[in-house]
Amino acid sequence: MPVLHNRISNKELKARMLAETQPRTTISFYKYFNILDPWAFRNNLYQQFTELAVFGRVYIAKEGINAQISVPTHNMEALKALLYSIDPALDNLRLNIALDDDGKSFWVLRMKVRDRVVADGIEDETFDPSKTGEYLKVEQVNQMLDDPDTLFVDMRNHYEYEVGHFEKAIEIPSDTFRDQLPMAVEMLQDNKDKNIVMYCTGGIRCEKASAYMLHNGFKKVYHVEGGIIEYARKAKEQGLPVRFIGKNFVFDERMGERISDDVIAHCHQCGAPCDSHTNCKNDGCHLLFIQCSECADKFEGCCSETCREEVRLPETEQRTRRAGRENGAKIFNKSRYRLQDGMSLTK
């Protein structure tokens, strides 16, 4: 089957997006449901999204769909009508609307077919992802945050937790969801008598995590409906206290939505209060890390003195140095990196 895809360069597409004057809305959604032919589903949806000028990232698998997209605001109703009509399982699909949004989150539509919409590493054929924990709405979330017999478990990566999380939430210190699932089961073994509340950015990870916890013998398992995005939006709409502190990391050009004014993270180079993620400007690195404005000026957007020196080299020499280099994990993790040499990152 021929695969429909974009044929224009990323540079030109980004320039077109930045030049747009029409307002855009950034939304995310997911749904676990059975897709018999993911490739046919993907190509049909790609064509219809293109007609609506949708940008973003969409993953499709036999188990369902996961999407983070932006759409011209005037096409929102048409997008809803399209999604609701595709499959009965998507009727009245919940759409998580971004809070801190300038409409510049994406500039191209990328739609991929995968084995799973969220890589989970689960090989147990008896696991049923549809048997999930109970949804919690905003008021219930706030009530359970005050319950001493309830544990809130953050099912996002460590770098997401670092810049923002629910009060007293437990971090599952890992870079990947597939590693977090068995780690969460192990860490919480002595708390099977407590209420376990799972949460994540938009709901897709914590929903599957809640099913996995039930599968592993936990009885009182819950998850935040719509994740942090929907919780914060509904709390503000309803005039309820927002109990999430800091920033919500998002996987687009924004790299974060401000939920509260608290800055709970620190610059990885100088230690100053800061929660702004960036990617190292060195094309041979692109490490994701937290950098304050002063260090951004000092290191010219790079993660270290070494990278700053490298980006100053002629492009041909930069390419020579990058050839055959193994970057490994491109995310700052305190267990793998240390600060030295005038507080610059070393790898």
Residue 191, domain CATH: 3.40.250.10
pLDDT at 98: 80
In a domain, 128, yes or no: no
Angle at 203 between CA 200 and CA 208, to 5 degrees: 95
Residues 237 and 299 in one domain: no
Q: How many domains does the chain have?
A: 3
Q: What is the pLDDT along the chain (347 residues), one digit of tens a residue?
A: 555 555 655 666 555 655 566 889 999 899 988 899 999 999 999 999 999 999 999 999 998 999 999 999 999 999 999 999 999 989 988 898 887 666 677 878 999 999 888 888 888 889 888 889 999 999 999 999 999 999 999 999 889 999 999 999 999 988 789 999 999 999 999 999 999 999 999 888 999 999 999 999 999 999 999 999 899 999 999 999 999 999 998 876 777 889 999 999 999 999 999 999 999 999 888 899 999 999 999 999 999 999 999 999 998 888 888 776 655 445 555 444 433 333 444 33
- Asked if 290 and 210 sit in the same domain, the reply is no
**Which pLDDT does position 99 carry in this prediction?**
74
pLDDT score of 119: 84
Helix (H) or strand (E) holding 145: helix 138-145
* Structural domain boundaries, residue 176: 134-246
Question: Does some domain include residue 313?
Answer: yes
Tell me, yes or no, whether 335 lies in a domain: yes
CA dist 109 and 42 (Å) reads: 12
Q: Output the CA torsion 46→49→51→52 (10° steps).
A: -170
Domain assignment present for residue 53? The answer is yes
Q: Is residue 236 part of a domain?
A: yes
Based on the domain organization, do 233 and 200 belong to the same domain? yes
Give dist(CA 13, CA 17) in Å, integer: 6
Beta-carbon contacts of residue 328 (< 8 Å; ≥ 6 apart): none
- Give the pLDDT score at 105: 74
For position 283, what pLDDT does the model report? 86
Question: In sequence order, what are the residues at sequence separation of 6 or more whose Cβ sits closer than 8 angstroms to the Cβ of residue 186?
Answer: none
What pLDDT is recorded for position 22?
82
Q: Which helix (H) or strand (E) holds 19?
A: helix 10-19
Residue 109 shares a structural domain with residue 138: no
What pLDDT was estimated at residue 79?
A: 96
- pLDDT value of position 2: 54
CB 156 within 8 A of CB 172: no
Q: According to the model, what pLDDT value does residue 202 have?
A: 87
Q: Do 282 and 193 have their domain in common?
A: no
What residues act catalytically? 200
**Residues with Cβ < 8 Å from 4, sequence gap 6 or more?**
43, 46, 47, 50
In this structure, what token pair is assigned to residue 287?
A: 């490490």
CATH code for the domain of 87: 3.30.70.100
171 and 240 co-located in one domain: yes
Three-state SS for 184? Answer: helix
Joined together, the tokens standing for residue 87 give 């499959």
Q: How far apart are alpha carbons 282 and 312 in whole angstroms?
A: 9
Q: Cα angle at 199 between 195 and 204, to 5 degrees?
A: 125
| Residue 121 within any structural domain of the chain | no
Helix-strand-coil percent breakdown of the chain, rounded to 5?
35, 20, 45
